[in-house]
Structure 1
Amino acid sequence: MENEVEALQEEQMTCRNIPIELLVEHPENSNFMNAERARKLRRHIERTSRYEPLIVRPHSSEDGEFQVINGHNRLRVLRALKHKTVNCIVWNIDDNQARLYLATLNRLSGEDVPERRAMLLENLFTTFNTEELASLLPDSEKRISELRRLSHVELDKIAPKSTTEDKLQASVILTFVLEEPKAAEVSLALDLISNKKKELSRSDALAYLAHFYVKHCSPNY
């Protein structure tokens, strides 16, 4: 019996040193580390060459690649440090199991982007109800309900209505220079909008963000 259990454990979880180019971030990851913590993590890895192994699984659609379940922030730092290979623990799990681990393990470090976490939970709702998710995840039932409502926000309600006059306006090129963490955050926001409104370009998505801020926020200058 013990041999059978050990064999099953070996089949379900293995340790490997994987080429970094074969590692793919999970598209539903909602956890991002702020710039200060990322710098500290980078200094630690530079100084000690040690880090907690990433948890990955064989990619469900890309043969030979591995999808990250836990360790997205570490992977970004390791890429910045030009590491060629990464210490990983490989789990053989399906899509729903991956989402559950994604929603729990990644809460241990970094911070969640609410809209991104809402998208992750929305996919889990195809299998679990609110009560079941509250028993499996760190979130309360109230928090899960709030995130589910957030995932159903209709972008059409906050979007500016285009007119014939708008379509006749000349295009204007805007150029921004941002630090890498800020650029990643802006890119993430544009992706969130583009994923919901497939017909929008990234420049249109940026206009949506600006319109929402002007309409709903009252900054103190």
Structure 2
Amino acid sequence: MDITSLKIDLLEPNPWNVNRMSAAMKKKLTAYLKREGLVEPIVVRPHPSKDGRYEILGGFHRWSICKDELGYDTIPCVIVSLNDKRAKILSINLNSMSGQPVPNLLSKLLHDLEQEMTLPDMEATLPFEQGEITDFLSLLQIPEGFADELEQQARQKDKDAPEVLTIVLDRKQHQLWQQALEAAQEEVSGAPNPKARTLELLSKRYLGLEAQNEGAT
């Protein structure tokens, strides 16, 4: 598949784009493009109703930043000839089929980077906030057998993969959370991830699920 350099003003977004990006992530992407350049071409097709123009099927945010923030005149593109149905299918696939990182493998990779970078530097160059990075790094403290279980679950089915939850607490909320962890210590001491087990118990009690489970036994 050939990569062609096109005038950036000849490209237009498609009308069905479902991919949204937060301001924080856009800032990270802009910094990345400034630092590394555009290493992945934009995927386009000849515009279905405008001769000489092209419709973006993949890479809208990178195109927008290169055009509006970085002043690109031309941009590398892969041109495909597709009808509307196939163009929409490709657009969905380009935005969705990127896979999910296996949490414990990502934590090891972040740990390697941590040996050479500070947390602020990691936050500035990676698509994570500092709290998310520290949560991933905390997975290294989980027993090895449980880490293997996480990896197996993630590989078996992406949608069932463990989620890393990041919560920002004020001082009072953090004190309450610590008190809850201490109160639940005896009940969760055998769990591979005591914090997650404590959160599960609190959620079940709040929703009344624990009482339902006891009534069913």
Q: Which TM bucket (shorter chain)?
A: 0.3 to 0.5
**Larger Rg, first or second structure (1 or 2):** 2
Query: Which is bigger in relative contact order (C-alpha 8 A, separation at least 6)?
Result: 1
TM-score with structure 1 setting the length: 0.42
